[in-house]
Amino acid sequence: MLQRIEKLLLELAVFAVLLLGILITTSVLLRVFFNSGVPDSVVMVRELMVAAIILPLAATSTARAHIVVEFLTNRFPVRIQGWFVVFGTAFGALALTPLVYASWNESLHTLQSGGFYFGQLNLPKWPGHLIFMLGISFCWLRLLLLLIGDVQRIRAGLTIEGLDAPNTEPSTDTGSIN
């Protein structure tokens, strides 16, 4: 279930990047060829940025694409390394809790206050806030599930994925999740 939602969120982020490109390109073309433009495109780009960056966070966690420093822990046996990974995930879930709480608060607040961005269209503030809340909440949930899964694997005598290869550096090249 979560996996599906995660995929959906990633697809939505991809859609947001596409829209970013299309929106900015359109506004440039309109300006250069018709001396015109897209109203409030700056606000729309900002809202899309939130979607493009926050929505994939859960998938990023699943792909274990968070950048870590591991030259010290690499000296330990794989089983111990597994416990370091577990600690990192647990710490991450804890560290994000206040942010998740805050994002719920702020989204509710912008929904209630009716705040909007000054412009030609006076676009409301809540969509970006809501997207942020969704993305960060699912990331938090994913960390929690990773934590449970990893503990179970270590207890069962298995290694955590990504720790078995000799090259354990973090992957910023994440073609593998596709």
Window 112-171: residues binding other proteins (CB under 8 A): 113-118, 120, 122, 128-129, 132, 165-167, 169-171
Q: Can you tell me which of 5, 41, 127, 144 binds other proteins, judged by CB under 8 A?
A: 41
How many chain residues bind other proteins (CB under 8 A)?
85
Comparing CB distances to other proteins, the nearer of 98 and 157 is 98
Q: Closest distance between other proteins and the C-beta of residue 158, in Å?
A: 19
- The interface with other proteins within residues 49-108 (CB under 8 A) comprises 49-50, 52-57, 59-60, 63, 65-73, 81, 84-85, 87-88, 91-92, 94-96, 98-99, 101-103, 105-106
Is 45 among the residues that bind other proteins (CB under 8 A)? yes
Q: Smallest Cα–Cα separation from 139: which of 99, 112, 111, 174?
A: 99
Taking the complex as a whole, the smallest distance from the CB of residue 151 to other proteins amounts, in Å, to: 16
Q: How far is the CB of 134 from other proteins (least distance, A)?
A: 13
Class of residue 70 by CB neighbours under 10 A (exposed 0-12, middle 13-18, buried 19+)? middle
Amino acid sitting at position 137: S
Least Å from the CB of residue 155 to other proteins = 19
Q: How far is 53 from 86, CA to CA, in rounded Å?
A: 25
* CB of residue 154 to other proteins, shortest distance in Å: 14
Q: Which of residues 14-33 bind other proteins (CB under 8 A)?
A: 14, 17-18, 20-25, 27-28, 31-32
Q: Phi and psi at residue 63, in whole multiples of 5°?
A: -75, 0
How far, in Å, CA of 53 to CA of 56, rounded?
6
**What is the smallest separation between the CB atom of 79 and other proteins, expressed in angstroms?**
14
Contact 13, 56 (CB under 8 A): yes
Q: Which of 155, 156, 157, 178 binds other proteins (CB under 8 A)?
A: 178
